[in-house]
Amino acid sequence: MKNLIFFKINKLLHFFFFTDGLIHWLVQRTAAISILVSSIVIFLFSNYLFFILLPILFFFHVFAGIRTLVDDYIHDLVLFLISNIYLRVSVIYFLKTLFLLFLC
């Protein structure tokens, strides 16, 4: 019964985040290319918008990579659920911190 509850919660969480391998791959590559383009724009033009965008893109790229590792290599349902919750809380905390640093 306990594993069934964790399984249902996990399926609900998967509904809100990427689960398909192709989507993971596209997100990773898009984030990497965006980081590269933002770095070049910052270097050449000193654009502050891209300076603010770069940490967000970098964190999103790292989050997608860690999410892929968790999806592929953690098979215990409880540990999988805890890992997903921790990743989501980390994203919220990081975005909140960036908001406070750059926009307030």
User: Which residue in the block uniquely carries the two structure tokens 């215990």?
Assistant: 76
Q: Which pLDDT score, from 0 to 100, does residue 17 have?
A: 60
Q: Which pLDDT score, from 0 to 100, does residue 33 have?
A: 93
The answer to whether residue 46 is domain-embedded is: yes
Largest CA distance in the chain: 58
Domain residues for the domain of 40 are 17-102
> Looking at residue 35, which CATH number applies to its domain?
1.20.1300
Domain count, the chain: 1
The answer to whether residue 79 is domain-embedded is: yes
pLDDT tens by residue, 77-96: 899 999 989 988 998 898 88
- What's the angle, vertex CA 70, arms to CA 62 and CA 22, rounded to 5? 70
The answer to whether residue 34 is domain-embedded is: yes
What CA–CA distance (Å, rounded) separates 67 from 63? 6
User: Which residue in the block uniquely carries the two structure tokens 């953690």?
Assistant: 74
pLDDT tens by residue, 7-44: 676 776 666 565 567 777 888 888 899 999 988 888 88
Q: Which pLDDT score, from 0 to 100, does residue 82 have?
A: 92
Window from 7-16, 40-49, 67-76 with minimum mean pLDDT: 7-16
User: Which of 25, 33, 37 is closest to 65 using CA atoms?
Assistant: 25
pLDDT tens by residue, 52-62: 788 888 888 88
Q: Which pLDDT score, from 0 to 100, does residue 91 have?
A: 84
